Amino acid sequence: MKWRCALIQRRLPDYPDGDLNPFWKRQVASHLEVCPDCRQEAEELAEVMSLYQAEPLPDPGPAFWQDFQQELHLKLAQVNQTPAPSPWRRASWAATPRTR
């Protein structure tokens, strides 16, 4: 029953300590008892969470985010410009009066 697994796994990040209502906690708990796949998923998630909690990532600081954003802008610009129009062609297109 794949759809059930999907429903359960979507709630795993909030299980067992998170902001999950009692109904879903019970659903998840009973599903984990019968489904090895979801149990493994839950274990891996718990491992990642405990790693993160043991060693929280330091805030990289404003310089990082500035770089990050610049890189993102560059990437977006590159994506938008494929294929790259040459500047004069764009200018001549813009100068052509629209008849429609």
Q: Where do contacts with Zn ion occur on this chain (CB under 5 A)? A: 5, 35, 37-38
Note whether 16 and 25 are within 8 A (CB): yes
Give least dist CB 31 to Zn ion, A: 6
CB-wise, 35 or 49, nearer to Zn ion? 35
**Residue matched to tokens 């805030």:** 59
Q: Which is nearer to Zn ion, 7 or 49 (CB)?
A: 7
Residue 29 CB, shortest distance to Zn ion, in Å, is 12
Q: Is there a contact between 31 and 4 (Cβ–Cβ < 8 Å)? A: yes
Nearest CB to Zn ion, comparing residues 26 and 75: 26
- Check residue 85 and report its DSSP letter: P
* Least distance between Zn ion and beta carbon 100 (Å): 57
Q: How many CB atoms lie within 10 A of CB 58?
A: 6
